[in-house]
Structure 1
């Protein structure tokens, strides 16, 4: 006997769509990882939009163009956390970095396709370090 397809409520679909759209992955990749048909996913997005639900926009495909690295000067040098040795961090390959911030003792790289929230929160945290 074939397995019955899982039926989800509109609320469950809204939560799944939100999770997908904030994951940083394209819809197709996220759906593949979660065993959800991309066709079903897009049909649910369309249905929920018709019901006036607020649906986040899909993640833009990562840009293949070169990005400029802009130096950011802060008022004072941050003191590194003694519990976090420099060897504890893994660098992001430069080819994938859209934004790079370098300060004494720190290097922060934000990848292409990073969400607005990630960028905003990173810049807010940097602002708190200097003031």
Structure 2
């Protein structure tokens, strides 16, 4: 699994959990995912998202 596929897998899991109406613990338990892995990946994805630099407008040279 590539890094992008892993990121997408965890984003899907997090989204499914959050819209399920269940607590994180209950959803993870039902889906066979350890809560420590779930929270680790939330933290990892948030950290990676904040590491993306904002776009900088190009300066045109004359």
Give the match for residue 30 of structure 1: 27
State the structure with bigger RCO (CA 8 A, min sep 6), 1 or 2.
2
Runs of 4+ in 1 over 3 A off after TM superposition: none
**Which structure's residues are more often strand, by fraction?**
1
State the TM-score, normalizing by the size of structure 2.
0.70
SS at match of 2:20: coil
Q: Which runs of 5+ in 2 are unaligned?
A: 51-62
Greater percentage in helix: 2
The alignment's TM-score, normalised by the length of structure 1, stands at 0.34
Partners of 2:32 and 2:47 in 1: CA distance: 25
1:75-130 Cα distance to aligned partner (Å, 9 max, x none):
xxxxxxxxxxxxxxxxxxxxxxxxxxxxxxxxxxxxxxxxxxxxxxxxxxxxxxxx
Q: What root-mean-square deviation, in Å, do the aligned CA atoms of Structure 1 and Structure 2 show?
A: 1.4
Displacement of 1:51: 1.1
Q: Which runs of 5+ in 1 are unaligned?
A: 1-7, 54-131
Candidates 41, 47, 51, aligned match of 2:48: 51
Query: Whose Rg is larger?
Result: 1
Q: Size of the alignment, in residue pairs?
A: 46
